[in-house]
Amino acid sequence: MGTFINIIKEHIQYRHQIFKLAFTDLIKTYRGAILGWSWAIIKPAVTIFVYWFAFTFGLRAGRDVSGYPFFLWMIAGLIPWNYMNEMLLAGMESLIKYRYLVTKIKFPISTIPTFVNFSKLIIFSILLLIVIIIFMLFGFMPDLYTLQILFYALLAFIFFNVWGILSSMLAAISVDFTNFIKAIITAIFWLSGILWNTNNITNPWGKAFFLFNPITYLINGFRNCFIYKVAFWQEPLQLGCFCLVLLVLTIVTVRIYKKLRKEIPDVL
């Protein structure tokens, strides 16, 4: 508990640096590329286009969902996944990327995944705005349910921040961990229902699996805002399970942080 409070304190104390570094991270990621900033948008836009093309003309799997074109259903999940994918990897590699903050100056290492997360969140917010605009172009205006994306974005931010702290420490210790996560990321993608509807699952084991899959919860959450028009309090079981998973992840992270914090500078 003391360690947890310490982490929170470090964040409050270094809030200015966190924001400064979030922008530094953004600039760092995109400067030097010819198209610079626009890459942040172009990359996911191309992905969306390719999927749209494949599903509309090729695979013919594009049936409407709840009265929305399949394409809209898809991007309502794919854009949040884009952020999660970035955080799964960039959060994990944040300590290695910002090694000098660990080994050269006195700096709280728990805040390093946080500012990387903020940097990704900025791009994510812009993309969410674009999604809202695409929905409007298709004639679907935002409503009160859409407002819930703030709630789910907050949950996603918290979840992946904890993940970032945990995974970045393990990645700093060994590339085996990094390689393992990179190897299973496609599996995570297909096992979280980003391109197919997990609500259609009837097998009880399958149901339980998706109930405890935090990524599924978040993806469905964003679709609740855009497609299903469900309020978050109408799914208390799902929310409860997500919070349980988050709690367990946090406890594990804090314990490992306590164990490793002082050793991390020695191994980086």
**Binding-site ranges for another protein (CB under 8 A):** 16-17, 20-21, 24, 27-28, 31-32, 100-107, 170, 173-177, 256, 259-263, 265-267
Shortest distance (Å) from residue 268 CB to another protein = 10
Q: Which residue, 45 or 96, has its beta carbon nearer to another protein?
A: 96
Q: Which residue, 33 or 59, has its beta carbon nearer to another protein?
A: 33
As a dihedral over the C-alpha atoms of residue 205, residue 209, residue 210, residue 211, rounded to 10 degrees, the angle is 90
Shortest distance (Å) from residue 160 CB to another protein = 20
Q: Give CA–CA dist 2/172, Å, rounded.
A: 24
In degrees and rounded to multiples of 5, residue 230 shows phi and psi of: -120, 140
Q: Give CA–CA dist 265/268, Å, rounded.
A: 5
Shortest distance (Å) from residue 37 CB to another protein = 14
Q: Which residue, 21 or 155, has its beta carbon nearer to another protein?
A: 21
With CA atoms as reference, report the closest residue to 40 among 112, 115, 130.
130
With CA atoms as reference, report the closest residue to 224 among 158, 151, 127, 156.
151
Shortest distance (Å) from residue 45 CB to another protein = 24
Longest dimension (CA), the chain: 56
> 10 Å Cβ neighbour count for 12?
8
Q: Give CA–CA dist 171/187, Å, rounded.
A: 19
Shortest distance (Å) from residue 31 CB to another protein = 5
Amino acid at 206: G
Q: Which residue, 130 or 260, has its beta carbon nearer to another protein?
A: 260
Shortest distance (Å) from residue 99 CB to another protein = 8
CA distances from 62 to 54, 205, 242 (A): 9, 27, 29
Q: Give CA–CA dist 260/134, Å, rounded.
A: 45
Q: Which residue, 41 or 173, has its beta carbon nearer to another protein?
A: 173
Q: Which residue, 28 or 207, has its beta carbon nearer to another protein?
A: 28
CA distances from 53 to 56, 107, 152, 189 (A): 5, 47, 28, 19
Shortest distance (Å) from residue 94 CB to another protein = 14
Q: Which residue, 36 or 240, has its beta carbon nearer to another protein?
A: 36
